[in-house]
Amino acid sequence: MAASAPELKPRRRTGGVLLSVTSLPSRFGVGDLGPAARRWVEQLAAAGQTWWQMLPVGPAGPGDSPYVAYSSFAGSTLLVSPEDLVGDGLLRNEDLAGPEFPDGIADYDGARTLRLGLLRRAWENFRKSPPAALRTGLAEFSQVEAEWLDDWALYAALKDVHGGAAWAGWPDDLRLRRPEALVRTRRDLAAACDEHRFRQFLWFRQWTALRSHAAARGVKLLGDMPIFVAGDSCDVWASPEVFLLDAERRSTVVAGVPPDYFAKDGQFWGNPLYDWEALRRDGYGWWISRARHAARLFDLTRLDHFRGFESAWHIPLGAKTAKEGRWVPGPGAPFLEALRRALGGLPFLAEDLGIITPAVHVLREKFGMPGMRVLQFAFDGDPNNPFLPHNYDPNTAVYTGTHDNDTTAGWWAALSDPARHPVRVYLRTDGKDIVWELIRLAWSSVAEIAIVPLQDVLILDSSARMNTPGLAKLNWRWRVSRSHEVEARLAGLRGLAEIFNRIPAWKA
């Protein structure tokens, strides 16, 4: 009797859409965690999508880049929904009257001015007559989150006092965190610190509600954790021992990358680098706290610049370009093992793009984390190109493009005819519907996760690009417009999810 074929267990295949929270529609200048976010979750669920991937949600610094935040733990209060504050009894509907903001473009400056005024009014109303549930919730939140929240509240209050100046320019006793100065300042700025705690409470309250809304509809949140933190951040000010700083708390080397696809001179990021030896001696405590925090916010977190855990590009302070740096070994397997033990697993997606060595792949594969593949990088004519779908391992997340890429329509429009040839041959296409053909290619691949930016779902050109690496201005501004046919396009995505088994059976 012939032996029966072994039973093959189907792997879980999922799909999702990349969209920054700030890109959601809103009448308050930028998207937020309120009604439009809940509506977006419902649209994803109806389209059979599992993942809402978003950009970092911390308090963005100068330039509004979510990858340069004032804290790795605090949430961006720019994302607090004014409409939901009305629902909490902290504002009235008439308080929400304000200027008309442009459709389809994020107006960060205008949104900050408006929303800061509303948050201040909500705080005053809370102080005068705090709803019992909110009063109890704030007390519990302040106690549970005190490990990072107290430092953040003081840092934010001090930035206000110093007109937004970076902590490196504060008086020495505060810059160096001398104990007597901290005690005095916490006392003097107690009311301001309480207000900043309150703002974070509002953010986390709305975040928790949004995540519950998503979970009830089978939608998971895929977050983004920048490996490095901003020099002007509460992280560096409150935990200087974690970073490579001199006695005056100045960086001795800064982060970046050598020349690559995105920048011929490399990228000079300027972030302080970690003192991994000091972290090792401490059992990686700061990083474990950061990872646990991310795991509470997201179902899966993209580890931006995963390469840095194997080795990081160290640029001497004062270098003219990123070319002057060198690779320095990172913490490697012992660090990831410590994270795995502390978290009971590694709920991370490794961003392994750019100049990646075999050692980086070995490290990622050792811990079973999925890597990333971007179709825009696939068509150089080399059949061994790792971004071509026939070379994928299932433990992969495939993208048409990321927030750092041009939109697929823009990318195609910029390609020369010879550069288009490998794409036409691989897809057997004339390129007239290239965007959806590449989405179809991603969804049909063996990659267990397939993600597409909403701009590609909507077939938008380069004017909808989210970020151009190396360009300091005009980034992070795209928003969903009233004219965009979101639901109709998502219906097409559901069709692909059904064809290629990326829709959970209970959603079908």
CB 375 within 8 A of CB 323: no
**How many helices and strands in the chain, by DSSP H and E?**
19, 12
Q: 330 phi and psi, to 5 degrees?
A: -95, -165
Q: Which amino acid is at 165?
A: A
Q: Which of 95, 404, 437, 461 is catalytic?
A: 404
Catalytic residue selected from 84, 224, 232, 304: 304
Indicate if 304 belongs to the active site: yes
What pLDDT was estimated at residue 304?
95
Q: Which amino acid appears at position 167 of this protein? A: W
Of 102-111, 112-121, 318-327, 335-344, least confident by mean pLDDT is 318-327
Distance CA(370)–CA(403), nearest Å, equals: 19
| Residue 245, beta-bridge partner list | 251
Contacts of 147 (CB under 8 A, 6+ apart): 289
Whether 68 and 60 have beta carbons less than 8 Å apart is answered as yes
What is the percentage of the chain residues whose pLDDT exceeds 70? 96
Tokens of 300: 């899966």
Instruction: Quote the pTM value.
Output: 0.95
Per residue in 348-404, pLDDT tens? 999 999 889 999 999 999 999 999 999 999 999 999 999 999 999 999 999 999 999
Pairing of strands 449-453, 396-399: parallel
Each residue's pLDDT tens digit, 473-505: 889 999 999 999 999 999 999 999 999 999 875
Confidence of residue 269 (pLDDT cuts 50, 70, 90): confident
For range 104-124, the mean pLDDT: 97
The reported pLDDT for the residue numbered 11 is 63
Strands laid side by side in the 348-350 sheet: 348-350, 300-303, 220-225, 51-53, 14-18, 449-453, 396-399, 371-374
Marked catalytic residue, from 351, 352, 406, 448: 351
What is the C-alpha to C-alpha distance for residues 423 and 442, in angstroms, rounded to an integer? 14
SS3 121: helix
pLDDT of 91 over the 50 cut: yes
